[in-house]
Structure 1
Amino acid sequence: MASTTLPFAAARQMMADSQLRPNKVTNPAVLVAMRDIPRETFLPPALGALAYADQDVRLGDDRVLMSPMAFARLAQLIAPVPGERILVVCGGTGYGAAVLARCGARVTVLDTDAGLMDVGAAAVRALGLSISFQKGDPEQGLPGVEPWDAILIEGAVETIPPVFAAQLRPGQGRLVTVVAKSGHPGVAVLAERQGTALATADMFDCTTTVLPGFRKVIEFQF
């Protein structure tokens, strides 16, 4: 056990020192959580060696575990506050949710892939974290519940479904994701609820895989 645990622990520290801090990740809670949460346990065993690589880790079916730096900057943009309710859409194996939970948030993962969520549920149980995993349609969010303090769509989208506006708490509620734009590598956006719509602001360049189901519908013109 020691032969695997020590290298992974060293890799987590190196991730923080060489990937996160040099790329403007300064939020103390996010840095502590990412040094603490073992990314390798949120991957199938065959992919564990890639846990701390500076890249997305492909999980199949166009799903990935987002690169540490990209995720950290999104988590910092959310600026999780202890006690807040956060919905992680397409949370997959739950690593991002675990980081936010370690920051003190009350986190729910919404995904359509039961296999990925099974990996995540086992990992968070082993860490003693309390995270809810719910299967559903990510494009619809979780309607019919109390509005969320924050929503993270964990991946890139070509368009943000308008249904998410009503699912954010008015005032301080915010949504964070990456929007893939034609001819551009991708932009992290911060969205806030304004009435029945979302007002978005581009924050920084960010590249990751576009999530299935969040692509623009191509309209044919005659």
Structure 2
Amino acid sequence: MTSEPTDMPEDDALAAEFALGLLEGGERAAFAKRLREDRALAAKVTYWQAHFAGDGSEIEDLAPPPRVKTKLMQAIAPEGARKKGGWLGLRGLFGGLALAGCVALAVFLMQPPADGFAPQYHADIAAQDETLLLTALYDPEHSLLEVTVDAGAAPTGRVLELWAIVGEAAPVSLGVLNADGPSRLTLTEAMAAGLTTATLAVSEEPPGGSPDAGPSGAVLAAGAVTAL
């Protein structure tokens, strides 16, 4: 039986909102900064991520505070997701996503980078049905983008290719992603232009990547780049 909290501590409520991707702007950045130093707070985020993913069978079943539900409904209510072909349909795909916080991001924030990689931006890239989930971390100072596939994979005989879409411009390929393990992409000046305000998209392509200037296969997932 799920209990409805009436006096949940502020940190628990914030952790639930962070896990669902509902914190924005300065509030999200401030919370992410705290995660780097507060392991107890990171544990709260991990709890809610497991709870919302339906993997909380071994922990006390608590309902998130009402304000979390309100924020979530505000995030997903304005526009339902619509299936459209090609990259022009990305706004419909992205509009209906309830972006979940990623465990990998919380773990990364808790561990100081050993190789100088210091991301300042991230994107939760998700398919409409969440069968494909990726996390992108961007370090503009070193023009490095690291992408991790958290769930799902390319169809058999195909590869995943990452694209950046800035405003109304045509998509720019950022590279083919590794089938196993994180992909560390070094971006050219042209690739990095406008990336901090871009939408990242992933398409399925033939081995070696798209033979065209844009995606030749189906666009499977998308997510907006935001500051940490």
TM-score by length of 1: 0.31
Give the structure with higher Rg (CA): 2
Question: Which structure exhibits the higher relative contact order, with contacts defined as CA atoms closer than 8 Å and separated by 6 or more residues?
Answer: 2
Larger helix percent: 1
TM-score by length of 2: 0.30
